[in-house]
Structure 1
Amino acid sequence: MSLDENISRLVDMGIETDIAKKALEETGNQLDAAINSIYSKNDPDPPNYNEAVQAKYNEENNFQHGNDSRNVELGSHMSAPIEIDDDLKNTLSKYKSYERAPIQLDDSDDNHESKMDYVNLDSSSGEGTGGNMMGWSSENMEDISAGEYNMLEDVPREKRLPNAPGVLIPLGSDTFEGYMAPVLMIFAQIPSLRDIILKHEFFNYGFSANWWKGQPCLPDSLALQEIQRLVAFLSYDSERAYATTKLLSDAISEIVGEGYESVFEFVSFLYKQLTDILSTTNCDFEKPLSKLFETKILSLTSEHQESHQCFTIEPSYFHSTVYGIMHRLFWGRDFSNIGKNRMIRPSDILTFVFDADGQNISGGYQLSQKFYPQIYTAPYEDLIKEKIKQLKALRKKSAEITSEMLRLRSFKGKKVNSMLEGTINYLERESKQKEDAKGQEKIDTNEEKVKESSENAGIAPNLSYSQAVNELTSIRDHINKTIKEDAMKLEQISKEQQIDIFDVEKILGTETESLEPWILAGIILNDQQFCVLSEHDHNIWRCYFFDGMNNYEYEEMPFQELQSQVRVYSKTTFERGMVLIYVRKSVFEAKSEPAKNTNLEKFIEKDNKQLETELQEYKKEHENIEQEDDMNISDKEAGEGDETQIGEDLID
């Protein structure tokens, strides 16, 4: 067993944590030796076992497992599990906003170079950090170092590199636009949702050479037209590297209303607006959109069913895993609500919004590539119930054994083993003195003392010294043997208790063979950093880092490295939380060509021609500049030659 597990065993016996740790360290993590060491020393009196065991047992009957408010620094009140009857507006009113600051994902704890250093190019300071951007020239890098670079004016960079994905650029500095770009990029990778968005064909989408910078294509374009334009840019054969979301922001500005105070508010708004707009356009979209976005949850206490498009994770629900969080949301921290709230139908897209409220996750958050929401449905929650029942039975048994060990070790506040050893030693000394003693008076006095000692130890009177020593030794050995056996029982129980109630895949066992998982498809760390799962390789993530319209960096990262980065980020600088988007595996991996929208395809073709024209003009312009530079250099060299000749003539 590990040191922490043995410390927990000793703490269960009522021993102080510091004393338990010290004893285990001194005895090489040997549980029985540590127990003997603790009680053989002149430490404070042993605890009152009745009070200690009762307190521990009462606590365990409430069943706490994993991280909770007693051993992690959450700094928040205990929250109730999901209340189906909560009013959404009351829930939203609790959220707060924070000043934006670049998040530095420092992975120094993991002893490898970070690939997620935030690219911070401040034009006012002329300073910048971060690695070289993909495909940038030395001239561009000089502009960046001088704080003058603007990628929207970098014509060569407008051309998309081979096999590189299109990128949406949030021009604004507010949370709204900063989160809209990554959400749309993730949605564009979900074939069924992408096709619903593209399916409705408008007669006219207009055109503008600088639409991608935010120049209007139509006098009064609709929000759906601009959503389609961006999704078409991401999905069709566009040769452009990036486009801004400004036209979409302008199109929906009238329905945005007042600024949102939290990421959850905005994500909820975006999901609702998208589904409402698409459903209004075509009533046939209503059912597939509901399947994509609406998770049906039933509260058995109120017999009320509600739909949730995303889940907000407040600090009181924080845990290191997605299952730890969802267990608390559905069943409470003590699992008292298990069976009272359950999923009727999980949506194909499951979104979790972490509202950090300025708090980190103790130990960091461990990303999971797969998620089985079926565990929160009726057929499978019984597996969790059974595990909880087993754990409670084991903990009850552990408390009983611990109680017995405490009784054997202490009596009326005194250590039994020490008291027996003292009595045995005393009697052995007296026995020896008796043999050497002379005089009946001294013998009578000693025998009276023996009688008194025997009666105090519970031994029948009139025993000889040797008989008393033998009986007391037998009692001592029996107690030590029983304690050792109890310690072995506790160790075995501890092994049986190693049921991780949050290791759902292990609990499901072979059931996972017949269940379809949801896979992690996108992570939005903040309004300037996000990661999207590669549709070609599910172990590769495309990570983007923005500095408004000035600059962005794109890198590919294996999941293990991303997992490590997020763990460090969530335990150190998690003030603004993050958004996780899971998608049903079959929905995400469905292979199909984007839905045909002839007018949008024509728009992309026209934009590709426009881009080619711009590149040719840029190339021609720079060739002319280079020729002029060459001519100037030649003229200068010729002029210098003439001056040299004149000088020579003057000398002659």
Structure 2
Amino acid sequence: MSSNDNITKLVEMGFSRPQAEKALQITNNDVEEAIAYLFEEPIEVSGPDSNEKQQDTVTVSNPQDIPRFDVSSGNLDGNKKERESGTSSGSSSSPDEYEMWYENNTLEHQRNNFAAFLNEKRSGNYPAIIPQTSCYLENYYIPILTALSCVEKFQETCLKPLKHNAQIEWNTEDKSYKIVFKDAEQIPDVSNYTFCAYLQIYLGFLNGLSEGAYISADGLIKNVPSNVREVLQDGIDGVDEFVPKLYECFCSTISSVHGESTIVNDLFKSSVESANDEVINNIFTIDVDSEYYARTIYDSFNELFWGADLEMLGNVRLIKGAEILTVLFASEEETYNSTSFVLDEVFHPEIYSSKYADLLIEMNRAKEGLHLERGEITKEIMRMNSFDGKRIKGLLDSTISYLGGQGRDTKDLEDISESIAESRERLTEKLTAVNEQYASLDVCSVDNVLQFIKNSDMDPPSAYLLIGVVMSDTDFYYRSRSGSWVHQKGSYSARNDLVSMCVEEIDFNSVQQHLSSYTQSLSRPFSLIYARESLLGKSVTSSNEFVKAFFEHDNDLVKDKSTISVHEQSDEVISDPMISDSDHRST
């Protein structure tokens, strides 16, 4: 048996890896001798420096200790520009004041440079929504909407015809446009309808209906619904506070316009309960604070739902999981991280639900029973290895050698030694089998859990596919409808001008490597968006006549525009096309 196999066997018995390695080295890789050595002469292995910072853990003993599944303070992306000045883009309550604030904070040279990007015709398969400026909370509509565009159910819900007809007013001079409703006075909250009309156009754009490479995010940013403006006005400080509110407001907006409250709530709302305390929280994101941050999403959820020592197993659980699950790995500050994050493309969040809670409790109890059996076998091996502080094998061997040297009969002693060796071998084989079964019952291993569920004849948990990885409002990855991965990243100057925009197709291994590098050494914030696999599907924009008509007209305008390569534009180049103070440029 290889040295690594023997090390694994000793580690499974409860010894540390350094102890196992040293014991096998001393006993020339004899696992039985190593076991005897470890039980008779424990090896002291120096631990980490007492001054080294250790990660805290939480022991739950009462309801107030249950992890909070709601928004918490913090800043997910270093979003400081508007916060340090004490000004938020949501500081105005009316749409006109809001748009005025946005225009006043977008300098003229920024609008001129930005227009050059919007003139570029699309040559690849992945059009991009781009913001004029970075580090505004509202910009998070962009990565979220881009990621959600591959979800067929989301598209079907958002692209239903509006009850009030939206009309496009085109500006023939600068070829910009705005959406209006002729019966606006009869609409209780016209901002909801305006936002949903822009949302339909953006979904059409992401589905490739435009011949332009880019579209300005102004349609979303300047026309966020009134409920979002109110949230921003209340003083939201960071992304981990804003994104749950964004989803909540999004649900209420879509429900008021399309009357699909059940559908949108199923898409985005989850419910978490503490069974023992009969407490239920409805949430739109799951927040993983720094104390629960671990190497993978499963390790993080294990700590969050079950506790560090499984003390909450079966108590804190999902009773309803959203079909689109957004997980915010928040951090109040960039703290030291001993390991990089390993990204899972497939996730099974339902294993943390009430549906499988009793089964997992049964699985863990079976493991605890095997733990006792392992202890009894180990004690029996110890008794065969030593007596009265002396090693039996060594004592027998030396006695047989001595008596044999005296010409005396040693057959009985040899039979005893052989019998002990055979018994010890049987016990070691039995311990190996028990250890394998013990390891297979570890509920912290998703593979073990899925196999245990399969063996129990229960329906397997739904698979969720990763559709978005968000580092910031201008740096994110998303899954396209074809299944390939796309990286979109904008670079901005010190003056907050858009300098370059990268939109490239990459493989998932590259996404994993990029996130691993991003989280290496430092525990940095990011967001993961997962969607139930069955929801992903084809584009449905072709059935929306409003969207089709818009892009038929807009593409005629695109053909008339001169193509300007963004790579040839310096930071100081000023081009003729401009974004109007009141209108939104389409491409």
Instruction: Quote the residue 1:330 is aligned against.
Output: 305
C-alpha distance in structure 2 between counterparts of 1:88 and 1:492, whole Å: 37
Which secondary structure does the structure 2 equivalent of 1:367 belong to?
A: coil
Change (3 A) 1:84 1:289: farther
Which secondary structure does the structure 2 equivalent of 1:347 belong to?
A: coil
Larger radius of gyration: 1
Deviations 1:448-502 (A, max 9, x none): xxxxxxxxxxxxxxxxxx57x6665555444444333322222222332342632
Deviations 1:15-34 (A, max 9, x none): 66435214546878553465
C-alpha distance in structure 2 between counterparts of 1:372 and 1:594, whole Å: 33
C-alpha distance in structure 2 between counterparts of 1:30 and 1:561, whole Å: 43
Which secondary structure does the structure 2 equivalent of 1:152 belong to?
A: helix
C-alpha distance in structure 1 between counterparts of 2:153 and 2:202, whole Å: 17
Task: Tell whether the 8 Å contact from 1:523 to 1:530 is kept in structure 2 after alignment.
Answer: yes
Change (3 A) 1:409 1:150: farther
C-alpha distance in structure 2 between counterparts of 1:211 and 1:479, whole Å: 94
Instruction: Quote the residue 2:141 is aligned against.
Output: 180
C-alpha distance in structure 2 between counterparts of 1:276 and 1:331, whole Å: 32
Residues 1:311 and 2:286 are matched in the alignment: yes
Instruction: Quote the residue 1:57 is aligned against.
Output: none
Deviations 1:214-266 (A, max 9, x none): x9777998365245325413315222221232443344484213664443212
Q: How does 1:167-566 map to 2 (within 5 A)?
A: 167-174=128-135, 176-199=137-160, 200=162, 201-204=164-167, 206-207=169-170, 222=191, 225-226=194-195, 228-235=197-204, 237-252=209-224, 254-255=229-230, 256-257=232-233, 260-282=236-258, 284-356=259-331, 357-359=333-335, 363-422=339-398, 431=406, 466=408, 475-499=416-440, 501-503=445-447, 504-509=449-454, 516-536=462-482, 538=483, 540-548=484-492, 549-566=498-515
Change (3 A) 1:191 1:509: same
C-alpha distance in structure 2 between counterparts of 1:86 and 1:207, whole Å: 57
Higher mean C-alpha displacement, 76-85 vs 298-307: 76-85
Task: State the 1:562 CA deviation.
Answer: 2.8
Task: Tell whether the 8 Å contact from 2:195 to 2:223 is kept in structure 1 after alignment.
Answer: yes
Deviations 1:163-184 (A, max 9, x none): x232111333325144321001
Residues 1:584 and 2:532 are matched in the alignment: yes
Letter in 2 for 1:563: Q
Task: State the 1:553 CA deviation.
Answer: 0.9
Which secondary structure does the structure 2 equivalent of 1:394 belong to?
A: helix
Task: Tell whether the 8 Å contact from 1:74 to 1:316 is kept in structure 2 after alignment.
Answer: no
C-alpha distance in structure 2 between counterparts of 1:568 and 1:210, whole Å: 47
C-alpha distance in structure 2 between counterparts of 1:302 and 1:355, whole Å: 27
C-alpha distance in structure 1 between counterparts of 2:562 and 2:241, whole Å: 41
Higher mean C-alpha displacement, 381-390 vs 349-358: 381-390
Instruction: Quote the residue 2:101 is aligned against.
Output: none
Task: State the 1:275 CA deviation.
Answer: 1.4
Which secondary structure does the structure 2 equivalent of 1:238 belong to?
A: coil
Task: Tell whether the 8 Å contact from 1:208 to 1:217 is kept in structure 2 after alignment.
Answer: no
Deviations 1:501-552 (A, max 9, x none): 321443343869876422222221333321111212x2x1111122132211
Change (3 A) 1:35 1:288: closer
Task: Tell whether the 8 Å contact from 2:119 to 2:563 is kept in structure 1 after alignment.
Answer: no
Higher mean C-alpha displacement, 79-88 vs 581-590: 79-88
Letter in 2 for 1:239: E
Higher helix share: 1
Which secondary structure does the structure 1 equivalent of 2:334 belong to?
A: coil
C-alpha distance in structure 2 between counterparts of 1:569 and 1:183, whole Å: 20
Which secondary structure does the structure 2 equivalent of 1:579 belong to?
A: strand
C-alpha distance in structure 1 between counterparts of 2:280 and 2:551, whole Å: 44
Q: Which TM-score applies when normalising by structure 1?
A: 0.65
Instruction: Quote the residue 1:614 is aligned against.
Output: 561
Change (3 A) 1:401 1:361: farther
Task: Tell whether the 8 Å contact from 1:298 to 1:305 is kept in structure 2 after alignment.
Answer: yes
Letter in 1 for 2:507: P
C-alpha distance in structure 2 between counterparts of 1:493 and 1:375, whole Å: 25
Instruction: Quote the residue 1:62 is aligned against.
Output: none
C-alpha distance in structure 1 between counterparts of 2:486 and 2:151, whole Å: 16
Task: State the 1:74 CA deviation.
Answer: 8.9
Q: Which TM-score applies when normalising by structure 2?
A: 0.71
Task: State the 1:421 CA deviation.
Answer: 4.4
Q: Taking every aligned residue pair, what percent have the same amino acid on both sides?
A: 24
Q: Work out which structure has the larger RCO, using CA pairs closer than 8 Å and 6 or more positions apart in sequence.
A: 2
RMSD of aligned alpha carbons: 4.4
Gaps of 5+ in 2: 81-109, 185-189, 493-497, 566-587
Task: Tell whether the 8 Å contact from 1:409 to 1:417 is kept in structure 2 after alignment.
Answer: yes
Task: State the 1:281 CA deviation.
Answer: 3.4
Higher mean C-alpha displacement, 17-26 vs 310-319: 17-26
Task: Tell whether the 8 Å contact from 1:542 to 1:555 is kept in structure 2 after alignment.
Answer: yes
Letter in 2 for 1:521: I
C-alpha distance in structure 1 between counterparts of 2:509 and 2:553, whole Å: 41
Change (3 A) 1:259 1:169: farther
